[in-house]
Every structure is written in C-alpha cells, then in structure tokens.
Amino acid sequence: MSANEKVLSRIKKLMVLAEKTGNPYEASVALRQAQALMMKYDVTPASVVPGEITSETCRNIPSNALSVPGWLNALVTVVCMTAGCRSYYGWYQHSDYKKRRSVTFYGLGERPAVAGYLFGVVSRQLKRDAEHYLHTACAHPLLKLSTIRRRMDEYRLYWVAGVWTVLESFEPETSEKVLLDRWLTQQQRNLTPAKVRQPEGCRNAKKVRQAAWTAGRQAEIYPAMDYRSEEHSLQEVSNG
C-alpha cells in the first residue's frame, strides 16, 4: 500500500468513526483529526465524506428573541464553519405553551451531530463567562439597564470572535453545496431569512471587547483533547 493510500485509508476510518459513534465528543475528535490529515495531505472531502445528509436540531438555545441577536448568529456561523455544515432557525412549542426558538444544523454524515455538540459546549461556556462578567464588570448600582444590555451584547459578540481564533474552518466543496441546496428544497420548508439584531455599541467598548475576546480564546472547546494526540496520529500515518 502506497503512502497516499495509507493516508486515505486513515482518513476514511476516522470519517466512519465520526459517522458511526453515538458519542458526539468522539465524533468531533475523529472529524477534527480527519480534517487535519486532509489539510496536511491535500485530500479533497469528496473522496472520503459519506453522502447521506442528516440534521441535528438544538432547542433551549440562548435567545428566544424575534430578531436573532448578532452574537447568537455569529456563534451559529462559527459552529457551521468549524463543522462544515449549514443551519436554519425555527420555532417549536414548549411545554409552557410558548414558542421557543431552535436552530437546526444540516450537512453530510455526522457533521450536524458534531455541530450540535459544539454549539452546546460553546453556548454553556459563553453563558458562564457572560454571567461572570455581568456580576463583576456591570455591577455598579448606577448603571442603567439599557447600558448593561448594550455592554453584554458587545461582550458576547467579541467572546465569539475570540472563540473563532482557536477553531479551524472546514469549507465544503461546490458539489456538497449543490447537494445541501437540493436537500433543503426537498424538505419543503417555508424558510425566510432571519432578522438579525446587531449590537448598538457601548461606552468603553474597547475594554469590553478585549475582556470578551480574551475569555473566548481561553474557552475549552475540546475538553481533555490534546493537540499532541493529533500530531501523533499524523506521525503514525506518515510512518505507516
């Protein structure tokens, strides 16, 4: 078996693992390692990615606003770019008879499940860091509620920007995009572009942005995952 065949075989095994495992974390690790190999050896996704399109819907997302906050839309976009899939917003009937917002990720193989896992991990850490910032930097009794809201919108948006710096983009090929367009059309969903509410800015924006960006960069996106394990996998393939 040639070196190229060994690389391709290793990538396919990782993609199969990502598709078959019932553990979203294991799927994300396998997909990340496969992406690293594909980038290193210039392997095209079309030659290794399973062709079945799946979807994953996340409920109880951080906002139920009619206009999607800019920071939430940015978070969904970052997750899609990292997992190599797409998304759309929707609504569902909650047990309290109120409509709640949802986000659905769709793409090839196990990517949507990975996106759903990643979205949950990042959302929880954003909530934790935002609450800490709210109770420390926004605790002055004379601060107006509108000021706090603008500041927190700014914080969340730049926290997402910080997270993006530690993630890797995975761009689907044109052939995949055609398949995804066709799949979405077949779902017969009357989707309209979501209204996105951009932040209005705040005083001391530079200080807020720096704190948020730093916190986002320090988020533990892949807990217990060591980059050295990926390097070891690459070494195994090259020495195979």
Task: Check residue 6 and give its pLDDT.
Answer: 78
> Which tokens in the block code for residue 83?
């997992």
How far, in Å, CA of 182 to CA of 177, rounded? 9
| Side-chain half-sphere CA neighbours of 222 within 13 A | 20
Task: Check residue 47 and give its pLDDT.
Answer: 59
Residue 138 contacts residue 207 (beta carbons within 8 Å): no
Q: What are the CA-CA distances from residue 2 to residues 11, 14, 238 (Å)?
A: 14, 19, 11
What order do you get walking across the sheet with 99-108 strand by strand? Answer: 53-58, 99-108, 86-93
How far, in Å, CA of 176 to CA of 186, rounded? 15
How far, in Å, CA of 218 to CA of 231, rounded? 21
20: which residues sit within 8 A by CB, 6+ positions away?
A: none
From the centroid of its chain, how far is CA 184?
A: 20
How far, in Å, CA of 121 to CA of 78, rounded? 13
Sign of the Cα torsion 140, 143, 149, 154 reads negative
Residue 11 contacts residue 30 (beta carbons within 8 Å): no
| Beta-strand runs (E) in the chain | 53-58, 68-69, 86-93, 99-108, 196-197
Angle at 175 between CA 173 and CA 178, to 5 degrees: 115
pLDDT tens-place values along the chain, 240 residues long: 566 777 777 877 787 777 666 676 777 788 778 878 877 877 765 555 556 888 999 998 999 999 999 999 999 999 999 888 999 999 998 877 788 999 999 998 878 988 998 999 999 999 999 999 999 988 888 888 888 899 999 999 999 999 999 887 777 777 788 888 888 888 866 788 889 998 888 778 899 999 999 999 998 775 433 333 443 444 444 444
Task: Check residue 238 and give its pLDDT.
Answer: 40
Domain boundaries, the chain: 1-49, 51-220
